Structure 1
Amino acid sequence: MTTGAPVPTIGVVVLTMNDRPIEFPKAMASVLAQEGVNLDVVVVGNGCEPELVPPEVRTVALPENVGIPEGRNVGAANVKGDLLLFFDNDAILPERDVIARLAARLGQDPGLAYVQPRIADPDTGVTVRRWVPCLRADATRPGVVTVMAEGIVLMRREAFERVGEWPGHFFLFHEGIDLAWRCWDHGYTGFYMPDVVVHHPAANPARHSVFYRMNARNRVWVARRNLPRVLIPVNLATWALVALWCFRDKDARRDSVAGFREGLQTDCGPRSPMGWGTVVRLIRAGRPPIF
């Protein structure tokens, strides 16, 4: 950051279920070691009283597991700062200036709602496809992006509150697409900074027993909540074709169909379709909202 620039205050939100006794302390230590920023850190216990929390960090204990996006909303309401860092509890900030560099990029451009670092597996250095927030999966190419990898992202609080926070009822998966699209519809953009690296183990999301069902359900919800009506069937047909091609396992296909049906039949939450101007902006940014 430039000399004499005010030191930003960052509200850091970390969730825990007390199920990562080795990874969680390392994650917290890497956050608290950050330099060039003022941090206000809160750990939200999703259905638990947080354990192994450093003494200088506050906690919020929720009586039940409300899911990742709603847990993040609770955390954001309990920290100070014009910027919010949402941080997975098994991630590591390998350098002491990671947050400061991300914050500096937001400070340079008031039109940015969020900035995304490059996420890499600590053992292999590989950035898996789902962590690259652009269609062309070049993990080293910086630029404007229209979605986000939800677990490690720095966001402007003003934008976060203006667009309506995370969709809490999603519980798990694709809340980042929903939030990013709403940011774009309010005139903001996002930016990917691959020169800023964060470490995160490349675990397969399908390890969760609910993955295929919630993955399908939430994709349907994202489309129903955010797209002009004429684009909803196009988006869903595109996703269904890709899913049928990629998910060769019989059980995965069955659960995906069940989730797809659930997404059509259940309440997706408030509908606020993006304007056609936003659709054009997304197309120009390289990611039409049918993918």
Structure 2
Amino acid sequence: MNPTPVPGLVSVVMLVRNRLEYTRRALASLARASGEFEIVVVDNGSDDGTAEHLAALDHPRPLTVLRHEDDRGGSERRNVGAAVARGEFLFFVDNDVLVDDPDVVEVLAAELAADPRLGAVSPLLLYPGDRELVQCAGGASTADGRIGPVGRGKPLGAEHREHRDQSWAPTAALMVRHSSFRRVGGFDESFDPVSLCEDVDLCCRLRADGERLRYVGSVAMRHFEGTTFNHVGHDKLPIWKRHMRVIRSRWAEVFATGPEHAAADLAWVPVEKDYADLDRPRVSVRADPDSAPADLSFFASDRALATAEPADVRVVVVGADPVPAVRGVRIVGVADPDVRALLPVARAHGASWALRDGVSLVSTVPAEGVVVSGPDTAAALTALRRGLHVLLGKRAVDDLARLVEGARQAPGRCSVDLPWAHHPELVELGKAVAEGGAEGFTVQLERPEGRDLVAELGPDALDAVERVLGVPVTDVRTVAATRSQVRAVAVAGGVTGTIELGWGEPRFHLSVTGAAPTADLVAPPVSGAYADFVAALRGGPAPLTELDAVAGLFDVVLEWRSEVAALLARP
């Protein structure tokens, strides 16, 4: 893996998953191309005969096929292809792209070889068919923060044949200097499993590292736009929205440095595509632009997201528990089966949607994040399958096994609202315990009256113990229980301690015997977990508590809750 690059050699890295009819044409068109290059095909779990075709293919160029049985993300699998490539230059090409000018590989490589300041180059992309319609004449951004392709849907003109700097380029056809690709770490695999915007992110990392990107309009390729990801079983629109917010948050300064384009260069012209006959594809400008579907394609999926405003992230709330007001967040919908609880909360947030069913809310209302505060496993799983980020309230973790399995399999992200999870005093206390050891502990946690002591306070108490001691809580035995107070003995890593939960004035005290440290935690105005959830929606790094990581803790909480309920039910 990672062989020493051969000077002057180009490695064409092509990711495929099914769509054999496109792959066959793409490889045949590369046979006509000039220059010194090899081909690396990464089969991302095809099951339509692609593997058999590639195994039997006699191609005039050196061909390496990397076969994978599963369908993983495009970023990871392109990185796998790059790791075995021998070329000085990596030419990432999708399997729905055809060589139009035979010298495209040679010309792009010559551009990179002639200017060591260049990190990547890309050709002109045209739609297939008889009409000379531009699909992408380079990637660009405007002064107001809009990001998109230049010239989409416009007739080919002299301005599209220029050579000029660009701010990003699509992986449909992107040639990168191999050394530069390695230096910036390749494609960011956090964009998987549905890789949208990973090409923009790579280009921005190259630019942040001091390299330039050039659009080379003198050579062209034909791109069957919209075929690569439409078949993988994901709803790509909400995923794209989330990734786009990451890009705009992460690379605002890079885009601000230019090169800038006028808004007219990025004007979106809707096109109609007919690929029924791949030998004679037809593409034309849509006669009635207003009739275009919402998800036209990549950067026009949500035009508001491609501009600097609005800056708010949109959140829907399942359950009528109050959600704190945070700058930059709009609560756009609320769901709760109790109309008397639902309507006041919806009015307080100024939410446009108020529904009784959580699944309907998550399925209907456009949003980037979902807060599930009450038990509604179906709504949480629906949001995860749509690729949304879900923040679960502690009472929402009732059907633990289904939630954990759904979080592992779905493209969305699932974290838990544990307000004190990353509290700095807990961190310091944990360091002191690591140095001095622990012989016992005491936790006292109170808050104003709620519905269920163990469900609402138990996870915070046990999580604090685990974070400070560095070991999981394995057993909790209730000593006494009333509806307003619960006392229990807990065991964590052989260390025994006491836990007291109650309704009252806010208080969170934790002490550890042996190392003699204590902590009295003060809750912030806004839950730390909620603030981190919002930061993650905006694309920033955030120390989230993922559901999968605390599944064992919630197993203990659910058993403890059952034990207390049984005690309270006794006459």
Match of 1:55 among 53, 58, 64: 58
Question: Which residue is equivalent to 1:286?
Answer: none
What are the superposed Cα offsets for residues 104-160 of structure 1, whole Å, 9 maximum, x if unpaired? 11111001011110100011321236x631247354443101111121111100110
Cα distance, 1:206 vs structure 2: 9.0
Alpha-carbon distance between aligned partners in 1 of 2:162 and 2:362, rounded to the nearest angstrom: 36
Aligned to 2:237, what secondary structure does the other structure show?
Answer: helix
Pick the aligned partner of 1:254 from 354, 365, 380: 365
Report if aligned partners of 1:82, 1:158 keep a CA contact under 8 Å in 2.
Answer: yes
> Which structure 2 residue ranges, 5 or more long, are not aligned?
1-5, 143-149, 152-159, 257-304, 315-360, 370-386, 390-412, 414-533, 543-571
Measured at CA, do residues 241 and 223 of structure 1 come closer, stay the same or move farther in structure 2, by a change above 3 Å? Answer: closer
Question: Contact 2:172 / 2:223 at 8 angstroms: preserved in 1?
Answer: no
Q: TM-score, normalised by structure 1?
A: 0.74
Corresponding letter in the other structure for 2:103 = D
What's the counterpart of residue 144 of structure 1?
Answer: 165
- Whichever structure has more strand as a proportion of its residues is 2
Report the 3-state secondary structure (helix = DSSP H, G, I; strand = E; otherwise coil) of the residue aligned with 1:29. helix
Deviations 1:12-47 (A, max 9, x none): 1111112x222211100111332222x221111112
Distance 1:269 1:242, change over 3 A: closer
Cα RMSD (Å): 3.5
Structure with bigger gyration radius:
2
Q: Which runs of structure 2 are paired with 1:23-172 in the superposition (5 Å)?
A: 23-37=22-36, 39-48=37-46, 50-53=51-54, 54-56=57-59, 57-123=63-129, 124-128=131-135, 132-135=138-141, 137-138=150-151, 139-171=160-192, 172=195
Query: Residue 69 of structure 1: CA displacement?
Result: 1.6
Match of 1:178 among 198, 201, 222: 201
Shift of residue 222, structure 1, vs aligned partner: 2.5
Q: 2:242 aligns with which of 217, 220, 225?
A: 217
1:247 alignment counterpart: none
Aligned to 2:213, the other structure's residue is in SS state strand
**Residue type matched to 1:29 in 2?**
A
**Length, aligned pairs only:** 253
The Cα offsets for residues 172-191 of structure 1, whole Å up to 9 and x where unpaired, read as 11111111111011110000
Cα pair distance change 1:204/1:55, threshold 3 Å: closer
The more displaced of 55-64 and 21-30 is 55-64
Distance 1:135 1:50 in 2: 39
Partner secondary structure for residue 78 of structure 2: helix
Q: 1:150 to 1:255 in 2, by over 3 A?
A: farther
Q: Check whether the contact 1:148–1:176 (CA below 8 A) recurs between aligned residues.
A: yes
Aligned AA for 2:134? T
CA distance in 2, matches of 1:142, 1:256: 39
Task: Tell me the secondary structure at the aligned position of residue 140 of structure 2.
Answer: coil
> Structure 1 residues 241, 104: closer, same or farther in 2, change over 3 A?
same
| Change in 2 beyond 3 A, CA 1:29/1:205 | closer
Residue in structure 1 matched with residue 299 of structure 2 by the alignment:
none
SS at match of 1:221: helix
Matched to 1:13, the amino acid is: V
CA 1:147–1:47 in 2, change beyond 3 Å: closer, same or farther? same
Which residues in structure 2 correspond to 1:175-254 (within 5 Å)?
A: 175-203=198-226, 207=230, 209-226=234-251, 238=308, 240=310, 254=365
For the residues of structure 1 that align with 2:364 and 2:206, how far apart are their CA atoms?
A: 32
Alpha-carbon distance, 1:71 to partner = 1.2
- Sort the Cα spacing of 1:161 and 1:240 in 2 relative to 1 into closer, same or farther, 3 A: farther
Kept after mapping to 2: 8 A contact 1:220/1:260: no
For the 8 Å contact 2:135–2:223, the answer to whether it is kept is no
Inter-partner Cα distance in structure 2 for 1:206 and 1:52: 21
What 5-or-longer segments of structure 1 have no aligned partner? Answer: 1-5, 245-249, 272-291
1:255 shift after superposition: 4.3
TM-score by length of 2: 0.40
CA contact (8 A) 1:118 1:198 kept: yes
Q: Higher helix proportion, which one? A: 1
Given that residues 212 and 256 in structure 1 are in contact (C-alpha distance below 8 angstroms), is that contact kept between their aligned partners in structure 2? Answer: no
Counterparts in 2 of 1:43 and 1:205: CA distance versus 1, 3 Å = closer
**2: CA distance between counterparts of 1:253 and 1:226?**
30
1:266 to partner: Cα distance: 7.0
Task: Give the conservation status (yes or no) of the 8 Å contact 2:535–2:541.
Answer: no
Task: Assess, with a 3 A threshold, how the Cα gap between structure 1 residues 227 and 91 changes in structure 2: closer, same or farther.
Answer: same
Q: CA deviation at 1:217?
A: 1.4
**Preserved CA contact (<8 Å) 1:116 1:148:** yes
1:274-285 alignment, distance < 5 Å:
none
Equivalent position of 2:10 in the other structure: 10
Contact kept? 1:24, 1:90, Cα under 8 Å: yes
Question: CA–CA distance in 2 between the matches of 1:270 and 1:255?
Answer: 23
Say which is worse superposed, 258-267 or 104-113, in terms of deviation.
Answer: 258-267
Aligned partners of 2:10 and 2:90 also within 8 Å: yes
Between the two structures, name the one with larger relative contact order (CA 8 Å, sep ≥ 6): 1
